[in-house]
Amino acid sequence: MAGSYRPYEPDQVMLLPAAPQDWLPPGHLAYFIHDTVDALDLKAFYARYEGGGSRNQPFHPAMMVKVLVYAYATGVFSSRKIERRLHEDLAFRMLAAGNFPRHRTICDFRAFHLKELSELFVQVVKLAREMGLVKLGTVAIDGTKLKANASRHKAMSYERMKQAEVELKAQIDALLARAKATDEAEAGEPELDLPAEIERREARLAAIRQARERLEQRQREADLERGRSEDDDRRPRGPDGKPKGGRYKREFGVPEDKAQENFTDPDSRIMKRAGGGFDPAYNAQTAVDEAAHIIVAAELNNVAPDANWLLPMIQAVKDNLSELPALGLADAGYRSEDNLKNAPIELVVALGREGKEHAEIDAGQYPHTAAMAAKLQTEGGKAAYRKRKWIAEPPNGWIKNVLSFRQFSLRGLHRVQAEWKLVCMALNLRRMASMTG
């Protein structure tokens, strides 16, 4: 006896088209993002297309925003992969509602609206506050290094730059002399296009010279911050301008030989990679609210140390939500006397790695650091700081391991700052959907 099965007619044509709203199960993330984007203020996106006329009809900005945000929320960052998903993935097709923008259109929309996309982050944070998912009781601040869209093999040290400049100048001079001799002898050498070779080396020389000048400019700025001047004769000077003991290792504005510059993303900096090694990277910062692990502030720069970020991140929380948190938590990377002195809220900041945090502190010279050391010895201080890792570190882990965002798609500090806020907004929406679903 033949088995009995449910009907299966893959070639059957539907009498009526299926509704896209029926394609996904209730509570799907795509529905949440669809409804949330509709609730946001998208006037800035529409402003770009005002007065375009009927012959210049771009894709609807709301649709493009929904597709981009959902893509980032599900770990799809490449415009080519987003284009493919618009054909193959039901959630993408539902959000696009019959639109199929090409990858170039998606890439251009993201590039044209970076500022507007990053500003949506604040709207989502405020929405989370209205939903009761942000309490601003305790906020933990943490940083993570994310790889730049740049190759380690497209970087050069300051020492190598100086050597390469000399070598390229010699090669250009030799090629010019060879070209002159060839012209005089009227004996062409078809196997070698001398003008093209000269042009290629001159372009390379110009790129290296520009990179060297950027390194030297950054070093001059760093030296000025340290109190140096161009005529200091490598001798440290006190507040009265008189020389002190010792000497600086390098002349004013001269970088270390090992200082590097990347040619594909000059704004990136070489930073230590977790687990060992170094990469061109950026330092991404988050302030995370305790209630539902919502990121309430997201900033980024290309300076590896975290210490200078503590006060700006607290201010960023206030800028985003018009209110300061009651308590801020941070690890030892944010420790400094100025941070503890000038913080507008109560802080619990570690003073060192575990086992080394109880070093002798001069209370006369560092009174706020000594007070923090005493607070960390109390039961209240210990209980508060124990929450830091549980609050601050999961969002960074989710970004890297759930969203699989480990490298930026864009290049340049301002573009990367905007993409970081887009990533954090996408993660917030995932959290909001899971907490309210």
pLDDT at 340: 93
pLDDT of amino acid 181:
74
Give the residue-averaged pLDDT of 6-11: 80
Residues 124 and 424 sit within 8 Å (Cβ to Cβ): no
Of 341, 267, 266, 340, the residue nearest 300 (C-alpha): 267
Is residue 79 predicted with pLDDT exceeding 90? yes
pLDDT reported for residue 403: 94
Query: What average pLDDT does the segment 145-166 reach?
Result: 77
pLDDT in tens, 248-283: 787 777 777 777 777 788 888 888 887 778 889 999
Q: What is the pLDDT of residues 183-229, one digit of tens each?
A: 666 554 555 566 777 777 777 777 777 767 776 777 777 767 677 77
- Check if the beta carbon of residue 143 is closer than 8 Å to that of residue 333: yes
Task: Give the chain's count of helices (H) and strands (E).
Answer: 14, 8
Q: Residue 304 pLDDT > 70, yes or no?
A: yes
pLDDT greater than 90 at residue 179: no
Count Cα atoms within 13 angstroms, Cβ side, for 76: 20
| Average confidence (pLDDT) over 96-119 | 93
Report pLDDT digits (tens) over 388-426. 999 999 999 999 999 999 999 999 999 999 999 999 999
pLDDT at 175: 72
Of 247, 357, 299, 250, which Cα lies nearest the Cα of 143?
A: 299
More confident residue, 286 or 230: 286
pTM of the model: 0.83
Mean pLDDT value across residues 133-152: 92
Domain boundaries, the chain: 20-112, 134-150+265-421, 155-262
Query: What is the residue-averaged pLDDT of the chain?
Result: 86
The better pLDDT of the pair 433, 160 is held by: 433
Quote the pLDDT of residue 69: 97
